[in-house]
Amino acid sequence: MSQSSVKALLVSVGGDLASTIFAINRLRPEALCFFVAEAEQGEIDREIIPQIEQPPRQWDQIVTPDSEDLLQCCRVLLREIPGLLSRWGVEPSQLTIDTSGGTKTMAAALALCAVDAASSFHAVVSKAQAKGGTETAVRGEARVLYQGNPWDELAANGRRDAAAVFNQARYREAADLFRKIEKRVSGGSKPLYKSLADFSEGYAFWDAFDYREGWNRLQSAKKGLEMSALFGGPPGLKDVVAKLKENLSFLEKLVMGTKEIKPELFLDLLANAQRRAHTEKKYEEATVRLLRALEVLAQARLAERGFQFDRIDPDPLPASLKTDFIQKYTSPLDGRIKPDLLGDYRLLKEIGDPLGIAFDQQWSTFKIPLEARERSILGHGFTPMPPDRYQHLWELALKISGTLPEKMLHFPKMEF
């Protein structure tokens, strides 16, 4: 009962050596490591190696001082396994664990310490102990073979952990967790976890304002997730796919739109600010994004009025502003007039634009959170931005822009 050779095999040694030898010859590993007690090391050279039909290219041993001491067994495995895999150049998907031999304590230690490093477990046991498995024979005696990938069951817990990380706006970390699962699950489950990793990476790029790369990753993820949802998939996947499609419609305008200043950028910056504030409690970073959103809104409106945001021509400026703008906003780098946020709204007010007028009407209130921002660490001071001042600024931004909360952009929540 042989099978295709495995890349790497870690076997526990002791007791039933015949079953261990059977397992090695069945699996025909390219690299083989024995997990053995000090007292039984001699059996490897004396009893096991002479009977291996296809010698592996690489050999190694992990030796435990006491095969009945769980802590000792775990300690040595945790210390040795990473280096072993590194030397062999083996991925978790390429390591098989066999517990046909050794003590129950050694098997328990392997289950605890090697589960992250392996994606296949194998054991040959006496028929009297078995209640399932596949019947086989070892030296004429009835045995039962068990084999499988525990990650096909463990993946559900790993998926929930990765989803929780994604929901905390830690998109890159979530992608890494999904990639870890993808490497370990069996073939049929790999496409789902690859798509979830691409999905998380796509939102990581989007969250960092790399809209084009985010678009590419999310388009790739959409196809895989749609296929997984079609054939069932985890609970909540269809809702995630629906939200993804909605988000892609929005992102398409940021990526494909022809306007230099796209109105969607304002909404994206608002949503980004809220993720920093509500999800991560990073009010300094949230405030920077929120003020930039208000500036983008003003720049877009000025563009509609014929003013380029980075090179305002002084000729069409209202007479009441011309001298002040030339003196205050002319860049020493290129000599162009480049107003800041307050200058943008001041110009809009002077030309009678409703957005500038709305800003002016809120100015006395707006100054309070703006002063807090000036004193903040990412402003020009040394005091963290107070959450209530951020919230005040947020409410003013919605009021000035006329943005309804229900129209806000939201990234998906993974509920599985």
Contact 11/23 with Cβ under 8 angstroms?
yes
Contact 336/378 with Cβ under 8 angstroms?
no
Q: Distance between CA atoms of 309 and 298, rounded to whole angstroms?
A: 9
Domain 8-148 in CATH 3.40.50.10770? The answer is yes
Query: What number of H helices and E strands is found in the chain?
Result: 16, 7
Sheet with 120-126, strands from edge to edge, namely 58-64, 31-37, 8-12, 95-98, 120-126, 141-148, 134-138
Name the segment(s) of the chain with CATH classification 1.10.3450. 154-255
Fold of 154-255: Hyaluronidase domain-like (1.10.3450)
The DSSP line for 86-107 is: HHHT--GGGEEEE-SSS-HHHH
Question: What amino acid occupies position 208?
Answer: A
Both structure tokens of 260: 């230099």
* pLDDT (0 to 100) of residue 243: 97
Name the segment(s) of the chain with CATH classification 3.40.50.10770. 8-148
Give the angle 25-27-30 at the CA atoms, nearest 5°: 95
Low-confidence ranges of the chain (pLDDT < 70): 1-4, 130
Contact 155/183 with Cβ under 8 angstroms?
no
* pLDDT (0 to 100) of residue 2: 55
